[in-house]
Amino acid sequence: MHNTIRVQIGLLRETFPGERRVALTPDDVRRLAPRMTIRFEPGCGVASGHDDSAYLAAGAQSASFEDIRSRSDIILAVRQPDIDRAPPERAILIFLGSAEAGGTSRNHPSRFNLARLAGFPDAGSMDVSTTQAIICGHAAVLEAARRLGVSPSMLTIDGSFVRPIKMLALGADASCLQAIATARRLGAMTHAIAFSDDAQDRIEKLGAKLLLGGISLSANQSPADMSALRRRITPQLIDKQLIVTGATLPGARPPALIDEETLSSLAPGTIVIDLTAADGGNCSLTEPDQVVDIHGVRVVGLTTLASLEAAEASRLFSEGVHALLGRIVGSDGDLFLNRSDPIVRALIGPKGDAVRVAS
């Protein structure tokens, strides 16, 4: 008689200050529980609206961190855990980390950074980097509206038209496009500066005005070229009350498109929301998870914007994790990482080998 050892899944509680998401919701636990054993750290989903009883009802087991760490084949987290909560290297860790090349010294073939699937063909819901970026773009505009002290509509007061906020997106990734869409729905005048040939159509379909068409970015641009680019960008920023930045370069630190000289030219009260803060920032003065006030301009570097909409962000994150687990765990509870699968190959990286866990 053949006994298959069901894959052991551990779900961690997030400990980063302000992080309210959870990597797997009870709805997806219920779908996965028939073919794998799932243990969760108590309180893991409370901040996103899921109490422990919901996980128990869905078929998961409550367990201590030590138990999860010692018994799990796969450990799930939204953020890469701190070193004192890091899983053993034998266990697969699925999380969303930095997309920057090199990442962290704790990188290992068993660390599946979902950021590696950003924009990956056929990744679908497994591309949680993009779904979370969309949430961040939406939350960024709502956070800016709160900090600017404007009403939710931005446009009307007692049925009368007032001067709308002028908003500019610096970049055309998923977060910036969502920021444009959200700001426009709230009545803002929307503008964008993009750095790719295919960005114009996407921006204009959202009703935003494209500024400075035909400019490009690359990781090997010289300091002189970057300085010249900043000087071109600055005049487009000076009359905007809200600037959302999300410009990235594949495998490299985000380009510094706004420096202190640029900030000094902006009107006091301007809000800059830097959506690349976790990876270094598009503004040279961005501080992760801080608000820097300089020359009366506030540079917001929050990396927890998705947690402002924790329930929806967690649902989308969990859908991606569910899809990935469904891809690498069979109906008999057998774990198989197939190197011929492009998704698995992207997550494992060049040093990983196919792994099978079965009796």
Distance CA(301)–CA(293), nearest Å, equals 11
Q: Is 292 helix (H, G, I), strand (E, B) or coil?
A: strand
**What percentage of residues in the chain have a pLDDT greater than 90?**
72
User: Taking 90 as the threshold, does the pLDDT of residue 43 lie above it?
Assistant: yes
DSSP type of residue 59:
T
Backbone angles phi, psi at 125, to 5 degrees: -70, -15
What's the whole-model pTM score?
Answer: 0.90
| Highest mean pLDDT (candidates 73-77, 213-217, 330-334) | 73-77
pLDDT single digits (tens) 44-71: 999 999 999 999 999 999 999 999 999 9
Q: According to DSSP H, which parts of the chain are helical?
A: 26-32, 52-58, 65-71, 128-148, 174-185, 199-205, 223-237, 260-265, 310-328, 342-348
Q: Are 334 and 356 in contact (CB under 8 A)?
A: yes
What's the pLDDT score for residue 79? 97
Helix axes 128-148, 174-185, angle to 10 degrees: 40
Distance CA(8)–CA(35), nearest Å, equals 10
Q: What is the mean pLDDT of the chain?
A: 89
pLDDT single digits (tens) 264-320: 999 999 999 999 999 999 999 999 999 999 999 999 999 999 999 999 999 999 999
- Counting every residue written for the chain, the total comes to 359
Distance CA(193)–CA(240), nearest Å, equals 13
DSSP type of residue 285:
T
Confidence of residue 219 (pLDDT cuts 50, 70, 90): confident
Torsion, Cα 42 14 26 123, to 10 degrees, reads -150
Confidence of residue 217 (pLDDT cuts 50, 70, 90): confident
Confidence of residue 107 (pLDDT cuts 50, 70, 90): low
Q: Which residues contact 148 (CB under 8 A, 6 or more apart)?
A: 165, 241, 242, 269, 271
Strand (E) or helix (H) holding 291: strand 291-294
Q: In Å, how far are 43, 175, 231, 237, 321 from 31, measured between CA atoms?
A: 20, 30, 53, 48, 12
Distance CA(7)–CA(34), nearest Å, equals 11
Q: Tell me which of 354 and 119 has the higher pLDDT.
A: 119
What the block records as the tokens of 277 is: 């803060």
What's the pLDDT score for residue 357? 39
pLDDT single digits (tens) 256-265: 999 999 999 9
What's the pLDDT score for residue 275? 97
What's the pLDDT score for residue 161? 53
User: Taking 60 as the threshold, does the pLDDT of residue 154 lie above it?
Assistant: no
Half-sphere exposure of residue 245: CA atoms within 13 angstroms, side-chain side = 29
Distance CA(157)–CA(349), nearest Å, equals 54
What the block records as the tokens of 37 is: 């054993």
What the block records as the tokens of 319 is: 């859908």
Q: Are 275 and 246 in contact (CB under 8 A)?
A: yes
Q: Which residues contact 160 (CB under 8 A, 6 or more apart)?
A: none
User: Taking 70 as the threshold, does the pLDDT of residue 92 lie above it?
Assistant: yes
